[in-house]
Amino acid sequence: MSEFNTIARPSAHAGKLLENKTFFPDPPARGPLAPYRKQATIDWRKLKLSFHDETSLELQHRVWDFARKHPLFAHPNQTLTMDEERHLATKRMYVVQNEKMFTLSDFLERPDLATIYHQAWIAYEPSMAVKYSLGFGMFPSVIRTLDVGRLDEIVERNEKGEYLGAFGLTEIAHGTNAKGMRTTATYDPTAGVYILNTPDFEAAKCWIGNLGKTCTHLIVYAQLYTADGKHHGLNAFVVPVRDPNTLQAYPGVTVVSHPADNLLARTGDVNEQGEFVSPFKDPAKRFGASLGALSGGRISICGIANVYLTKAITIALRYSASRKQFGPDDAEDEWPVLEYQSQQFRLFPHLANNTVIRVFNLWFGKAYGDMQLKLLGGENIGATGMEVHALSSAAKPVCTWAARDGVQECREACGGHGYLKLSTIGDLRGNNDPNCTYEGENNVLIQQASNWLLSVRVKGYEKFAEVSPLGSAQFLAQYASLSKRKANWKSPSDAGSIANQLEALDWLVAYLLEESYQKMSTLRQQGKSSFEARNEVQSFFARTLSIAYGERMLLFVFAKFLANLEAGPERQALERLGSLYGAGTVLRHIGVFYQGGYFSTQSNAMALLQQSVLDLLPTIKRDAIAIVDAIAPPDFIINSPLGMNDGDVYRHMESAIMQAPEALERPKWWRDVVHRDYVQSKL
Amino acid sequence: MSEFNTIARPSAHAGKLLENKTFFPDPPARGPLAPYRKQATIDWRKLKLSFHDETSLELQHRVWDFARKHPLFAHPNQTLTMDEERHLATKRMYVVQNEKMFTLSDFLERPDLATIYHQAWIAYEPSMAVKYSLGFGMFPSVIRTLDVGRLDEIVERNEKGEYLGAFGLTEIAHGTNAKGMRTTATYDPTAGVYILNTPDFEAAKCWIGNLGKTCTHLIVYAQLYTADGKHHGLNAFVVPVRDPNTLQAYPGVTVVSHPADNLLARTGDVNEQGEFVSPFKDPAKRFGASLGALSGGRISICGIANVYLTKAITIALRYSASRKQFGPDDAEDEWPVLEYQSQQFRLFPHLANNTVIRVFNLWFGKAYGDMQLKLLGGENIGATGMEVHALSSAAKPVCTWAARDGVQECREACGGHGYLKLSTIGDLRGNNDPNCTYEGENNVLIQQASNWLLSVRVKGYEKFAEVSPLGSAQFLAQYASLSKRKANWKSPSDAGSIANQLEALDWLVAYLLEESYQKMSTLRQQGKSSFEARNEVQSFFARTLSIAYGERMLLFVFAKFLANLEAGPERQALERLGSLYGAGTVLRHIGVFYQGGYFSTQSNAMALLQQSVLDLLPTIKRDAIAIVDAIAPPDFIINSPLGMNDGDVYRHMESAIMQAPEALERPKWWRDVVHRDYVQSKL
């Protein structure tokens, strides 16, 4: 698997970097968080440097500092209407686009920084960031990948900000089943144009970021027909939809004719004779390649989801350290709620998820970037492409659901104040929600991973040695010995050992794979079609298999990451989080371990796992606020009175509440309370 | 336990009722839902009558029909600002208040109809319904309960709509710990007034429905001090906060002086000599009684949460029957997504939860109403009060989390369209969210149930025979035999039997109680205080115990309900839902069953449970749309293009989208896209 060679580790140079107050400003010496910072066993700056190097810190700082200083980027102090929000996001997008803070040549030098840059904007405000990345990132990138040099002008004018793009695959009645799209493109050889047609409202392109109000060009996926009536599958076309000078939609946007050159022709083209020609002989492969340009999206979403979780867990943990409630009868003060086991039990698993996913994203982003560079250089990437497809199909659900559940728990853990609009946790939840649905609806997408595992299993377990260069499934080649493995834990710390947990998860994936395979075979023998059998093997089997496969890989990558870190309290703190993640993962699948016999020689395995979790909670608590310091963005980006660096929750709340317009006035419509003449007016 | 004697069962009269087209309008004969209605084994009208009688149907219909016809109650076709929403909710509230559709005398005749009435308004729109029930329900009811006849005028003017009330317990820095409130009320015997004082922002009353903008009177909970400096705990005062003629806040709302009569004096009073006198000798009991007026709130919330889940599951299942995606290679049409096992597996457990909770709420509402009537009649309610407290403390978390998870799954199961504002599922999620927090934050509240169980356990298991007239814990008196019980399931249908599942859940509660008790004892022996021991026994033990105790009672009540129903396909359909609920509940706790030895003679128990679930899914599918017809409110109340009675999703979406203001226009700020002069303006 790819090594973590771009992730900086403490070194001679790091010593100097640690003194940099721009990247490592001193936390407030007073206030409710100070005691927690004092009791920490770790240096938060060193911990931060295990996820960052100087360049990534600098880029992140540049983005956030730009936003903090630019007047257009000040946070509004009241809720905007959707139109106001769109307007503001659009203006901000053009300002950012004009800044060229991270260019194509920056990317070619350090592809891994693309996610740092993108996630910094996501952390600031996603509606701008998503508009920006669709319109000025994905749009030109898809054209560059699929065009054969005919549409360079569009890319150039996009780069100048004159054209804004959008990406149009989904229709009202088809999203998940991309092949089922009903928009057609029929080539008219006489005029040399394609006639694009959306037969009805159900086939209307929909859910297309930027399309609704602002884009000038849309990449339309349509079923291609040549004049002879032959169907050539789904192909991509660049269609001008609005006049860039007036932003008026072109006439007949439901039926648009446009020049033949606008077919993105790398995977297939229509020649002068009106015939379809393609370098791909197999239409299924052509379809795959035509959609292949999108495969980075899922990996990117894993990172975006974790940005929301980072903000939520920062807010919830700082709030928990500041908020006091109850206490022993003889105590003078109430306790910070972070002191309660039940609060630790609610929040620390999500801090652990956040950390393990953070490291996984760093690694996956790099592995994917390496693969892209090889592809661009014409190298053969062998089995990597398929493994990336399967792994990203499992990882996106695992990461986005982790964010969904984590953000929700953080909301609840902040009580009523977490429900306040100004806490921003509700927005984080709303922003993460579509991550579970777009770029492959999680429940459907996740089948891609089990489909791949099952297809290799059919050929024999030994094949796993060849198909998994990234290490997500290589271990399955040892199925024979794996399947006989049993737990041999003597103590809670055995149950908490990441190495032991990985052994258990290896077994789990192997067991679920074989169960799914056997269930599938039985269904086939009962006369079910492969379509039916695949559907009926999902619940409890293939679906759980995909999830376990993803969860195991997260811990596997984390263990490798730990092995590369310098020994010290920071590594220990990370180990504890990995251990909590591992114990939680095994506990979620506990029934399978018992039923499958992995615990057949020790029925107390669950109790050992539970005790390992309970033992971890107070040790993690000691460092929790320092860990948050290492991952939290600056206050301007956190933008929640509950989660500021000084922990001064009530002062920030008071100021936010009092600054709200008309906070202290009676409503303008007070007469409708006092007089109520509308009550008597009968129908 | 209370019998279901107010819930109508098919009878001679029911036959005529079934023909009533007002209550049972014929569903559309065509469209995507028609085939599902044809294949159903049940009569949806009969199913509906197992939850309703004629009077409750009539009341519900009256509310919904009133809303459908009154112009002020039309659904806005665009998102309102918060101020607009408040304004509209306020006007609607006064209109409803003026209608007197369900009066105190109606309540005294049929207390169980109070929830039908309230939930009908919740289903229509909760911001109005909550304002209404706080201001005109809870406010006068608390005064009636705690006043000694001095504040009748306030109640009367409230009834006329002249005064609007609010209920002020929570402060900025204290919610869960009610005893920790810092607002004080100091009696000044010279002037005969109380001086109420909020020392700082942290003690400001906050989160008080109606207080922000509209109420005239606030019930303030404050620490009472007499002139001699003595402290008499938390007491309730009625404080005028706004001039009812101008709605201007009175001067010094942070320090308000008001007449001595405004102390709600049933639990304690200050006499003419300025001394505190109370009928309660024990201050802890006085505090309990002072807050006791609120105990119906939790039960009410169980029902409200289920209303949101009802709407969400209606939308998701109708959408799933209408939405087509993929299909076998040889099929002409794509399949409705409801045909896929994975979609059934996602949604049916929430339909089962919804049904089991629906029945539980009917029963609990009735049991609580009976108890209230006894209290009003001066009868001794014995152990019931404590059991209601414990059970409602477990049931509120179980029911509101079920709604939280169910609504979220429904959102995801509708894909991108479920994320649309107009799907309304996002609003249902937002509306349910505070249910998890107010009237007792779930994670703290739930400790009340385990505290009670543990306190009885300390006295000995035989005591459970006396303390549980409602049946939530009576079975624990048989601990000795219970704890030796083991599963003896031969087939998936054994695992799916509700009777067997109840046996398993009885064992589970007993096992978790004993584990929690033993863990607690160990902690005490290690020298931990009772405060510490109680905190450290929560995770995995006491918390899980409370949840299992609540979940078991839900199934217990459901089994009793089934036993009272006439045999027939409707009862069978309900049995399947109960069985799915039971299997899911046992599966969630599967590790405990294995570890505790309940499955020690059959390691395949999990496989049997899983197979029972898989067997249930297609049989439930056959009736799913008819079940929805029995629980769904009319289209006007559903108000989601995804979930209408005709299943015509795309036509309703098209109409909703096209009717949105400016749907087809360029944005007003189009010049900011085309010209972008703000981009160059440097800082």
Average pLDDT for B97-126: 93
How close is the nearest chain A Cα to the Cα of B590, in Å?
6
Is it the case that residue A475 has pLDDT exceeding 90?
Answer: yes
A29-38, A265-274, B175-184: least confidently modelled range: A265-274
Distance CA B153, CA A207 (A): 57
Q: What is the pLDDT of residue B7?
A: 44
Report how far apart, in Å, the C-alpha atoms of A500 and of each of A184, A562, A612, B306, B339 are: 55, 15, 13, 42, 41
| pLDDT of A19 above 90 | yes
Count contacts between A and B (CB, < 8 Å).
274
Interface test with B, best of A322, A324, A539 (most B CBs within 10 A): A539
Q: Locate B63 and state its tokens.
A: 């509310």
Across the interface, do A213 and B667 touch by the CB < 8 Å criterion?
yes
Q: What is the pLDDT of residue B381?
A: 83
A positions 489-548 inside 8 Å of B (CB): 529, 531-532, 535-536, 538-540, 543
Q: What pLDDT, on the 0 to 100 scale, is given for residue A11?
A: 55
Say what the pLDDT of residue A282 is.
72
A 633-652: CB under 8 A from B: 650
- Band of residue B287 on the pLDDT scale cut at 50, 70, 90: low
CB B396 within 8 A of CB B445: yes
Considering only residues 358 to 417 of chain B, which have any Cβ-Cβ distance to chain A shorter than 8 Å? 404, 408, 411-412, 415-416
**Looking at the partner chain, which of B202, B342, B411 has a beta carbon nearest the beta carbon of A539?**
B342
- The answer on pLDDT for B619 being more than 60 is yes
Best mutation target, B160, B211, B443, B538, to test chain A (most A CBs within 10 A): B443
HSE at residue B600, side-chain half, CA atoms within 13 A, is 11
d(CA A437, CA B414): 9
Residues of chain A neighbouring B610 (CB-CB closer than 8 A): 539-540
Q: Mean pLDDT in chain B?
A: 92
Question: What per-residue confidence (pLDDT) applies to B8?
Answer: 43
How buried is B562 (Cβ within 10 angstroms: 0-12 exposed, 13-18 middle, 19+ buried)?
A: middle
Q: How far is CA A373 from CA A110, A379, B176, B543, in A?
A: 11, 9, 55, 51
pLDDT of residue B258: 61
**pLDDT for A251:** 80
Mean pLDDT across B410-417: 96
Instruction: Give pairs for A274-279: CB < 8 Å, separation 24+.
Output: A274/A187, A274/A189, A274/A226, A274/A227, A274/A228, A275/A226, A276/A224, A276/A226, A276/A230, A276/A232, A278/A232
Please state, as a whole number, how many other Cβ atoms lie within 10 Å of the Cβ of residue B476.
Answer: 24
ipTM of the predicted structure?
Answer: 0.94
Residue A290 identity (one-letter amino acid)? S
How would residue B561 be classed by pLDDT, with cut points 50, 70 and 90?
very high
For helices B498-525 and B543-564, the axis angle rounded to 10 degrees is 160
Question: Residue A5 — very low, low, confident or very high, per pLDDT cuts 50/70/90?
Answer: very low
Calculate how close chain B gets to A407, using CA atoms only, in Å.
13
Question: Where residue B280 falls among pLDDT bands split at 50, 70, 90?
Answer: confident
Instruction: Mention every residue, 6+ apart, whose C-beta is less than 8 A from residue A526.
Output: none
Contacts of B6 (CB under 8 A, 6+ apart): B53, B110, B112, B366
**pLDDT over threshold 80, residue A493:** yes
Q: How far is B501 from chain A (nearest CA, A)?
A: 17
Q: Which residues of A touch B323 (CB under 8 A)?
A: 173
Contact B416 A426 (CB under 8 A): no
CA distances from B554 to B52, B298, B399, B559, B579 (A): 19, 15, 10, 9, 12
What does the pLDDT look like over A519-536, one tens digit per residue?
999 999 999 999 999 999
Q: How far apart are CA B322 and CA B542, in angstroms?
A: 44
The answer to whether A172 faces chain B, any CB pair under 8 Å, is: yes
Does residue B58 surpass a pLDDT of 50?
yes
Mean pLDDT within B375-381: 82
Residues of A in contact with B614 (CB under 8 A): 536, 539-540
Shortest distance, CA A672 to any CA of chain B (angstroms): 7
DSSP A235: E
Pick the range with the lowest mean pLDDT from A112-116, B217-221, B248-252.
Answer: B248-252
Provide the whole-model pTM.
0.95
Q: Is A239 helix (H, G, I), strand (E, B) or coil?
A: strand
Q: At B194, which helix (H) or strand (E)? A: strand B193-197
Task: Give residue B683's pLDDT.
Answer: 44
> How many whole angstroms separate alpha carbon A676 and alpha carbon B7?
39
The structural domains of chain B, with segments of one domain joined by +, span 167-264
Looking at A143-152, A612-621, B482-491, which range is the least confident one? Answer: A143-152
| No. of helices (H) and no. of strands (E), chain B | 31, 8
Q: Is it the case that residue B6 has pLDDT exceeding 60?
A: no
Nearest to A146 by CA among A167, A162, A131: A167
Residue A416 to residue B438, Cβ atoms within 8 A: yes
pLDDT value at B24 more than 90? yes
Contacts of A669 in chain B (CB under 8 A): 87, 90
> In this predicted structure, what is the pLDDT of residue A683?
44
Q: Which of A83, A676, A683 sits opposite B161 (nearest CB)?
A: A676
**CB distance from A434 to chain B under 8 Å?**
yes
Tokens of B37: 């209605």
Percent of chain B with pLDDT over 90: 75
For chain B, what's the residue count? 683
**B681 reaches A (C-beta below 8 A):** no
Across the interface, do A672 and B617 touch by the CB < 8 Å criterion? no
CA B636 from centre of chain: 22
Nearest Cα residue in chain B from A345? B539
pLDDT at A183 over 90: yes
Predicted confidence at residue B5, as pLDDT, reads: 42
Kindly tell me if the per-residue pLDDT of B32 is higher than 60.
yes
Give the Cα separation of A639 and A631 in Å (integer). Answer: 15
Higher-pLDDT residue of A460 and B282 is: A460
Does the pLDDT value for residue B614 go beyond 80? yes
Q: Does B618 touch chain A (CB under 8 A)?
A: no
Cα–Cα distance for residue pair A39/A20, rounded to 1 Å: 23
Write out chain B residues lying below 8 Å of A206, CB-based: 416
When the candidates are 2.40.110.10, 3.30.70.980, 1.25.40.10, 1.20.1440.120, the CATH number that belongs to A167-264 is: 2.40.110.10
Mean pLDDT of A296-323: 96
Contact B606, B595 (CB under 8 A): no
Tokens representing A259? 């020049």
pLDDT mean over A591-610: 95
The set of residues, in sequence order, having a beta carbon less than 8 Å from that of B522 and lying 6+ positions away, is: none
Closest CA in chain A for residue B86: A667
B489 burial type by CB count under 10 A (0-12 exposed, 13-18 middle, 19+ buried): buried
Give residue B551's pLDDT.
98
**Whole-number average pLDDT of chain A:** 92
Mean pLDDT for A259-287 is 78
- How distant is the alpha carbon of residue B165 from its chain centre? 22
Round to whole Å and give the CA distance between B357 and B631: 13
Note the pLDDT of residue A286: 59
Question: A440 CB near a chain B CB, below 8 Å?
Answer: no
Instruction: Compare B374 and A538 and report the one with higher pLDDT.
Output: A538
Mean of pLDDT values over B188-206: 91
- Grade residue A476 by pLDDT with cuts at 50, 70 and 90: very high
The continuous run of DSSP H or E covering A631 comes out as helix A605-631
Residue B50 C-alpha, separation from nearest chain A C-alpha, in angstroms: 31
The pLDDT score that the predictor gives to residue A12 is 54
| Chain A residue numbers touching B442 (CB-CB < 8 A) | 412
| Cβ(A23)–Cβ(A57) below 8 Å | yes
Residue B3, pLDDT > 80, answer no
Tell me which of A258 and A255 has the higher pLDDT.
A258
Q: Report the alpha-carbon angle A140-A144-A147, nearest 5.
A: 120
